[in-house]
Structure 1
């Protein structure tokens, strides 16, 4: 039996990643658009967990369905872990990511490599109509590169360099990125939680 779960996002790049990571599970993921939902949830939490739970809960209350949501972002240590939970709104919500990325590169212009440490954080929340809630967290460590590189991925991927692989996450194949990324790690943990819980509910 496949369980249908609405993923609270309108981001097509994110949906593509999520489907690839969850393709071997008994979960069918549909986006807000595919579910016919046009609802914006204000992300006013102070943590990734608060925002992910709020998004999933509000959409679940609106639809009565199982809903999964994520809140993710880039933490740059030199910038006091900004943009963090404000990653999507950094420099303005409708500002293209090539401009957002350049803004961060400009701030770190003369900053040496050892002080350019950063990480991507992803928190996934799944909320069931009975109120049961799961959250999982994934992190990938790296540094902010000196230039925008690569055309894979989306968001801040072109400036996030992973020394271990000698490339940015925008230069990685989708398969490699999904295996090591913050979202990939959080979704793998969520997959285990849900398989266990849904198995017990049978």
Structure 2
């Protein structure tokens, strides 16, 4: 296994040609919760208790979420954790095979206008292929642009990198290569017996 310790500078990790599931942007948003408070004047919805937001393959979960809607009709969601229960997200990526990206943090912000996911404090983002972990990034702040398939990691929860504030970690799993086909052992021709001579 290869392990890379990142400096406090920005990490831009360009993924392969796959992108977030494009069909998600055309799907309705469904939210499940235990308690809901709505302020129609301010266009704010406060959801409490096992909040589960789905939009196509996008799945966001947290103990509490606050959703605001802008004048254009786009939603902005802030998901917050409780001790022992982080806010999480998961989304399928376009492309061949079963590819997903998922993450967790103490706070997650998501905008359906930009498809940008921001993770604050104890943030982790993982990429999976066919259920197998491909790589993982940890940091105090991670911004994930699902349209461009890019990550930016900073060493403070403000989204800025500061000298001496901390370091991130990236773990890249080894590539599994198909085994080479077995070859039959080479055989040497049997020694021939010289013909008998007549006396």
Bin the TM-score by the shorter chain: 0.3 to 0.5
Name whichever structure is richer in strand by fraction: 2
So what's the TM-score if we normalise by structure 1? 0.33
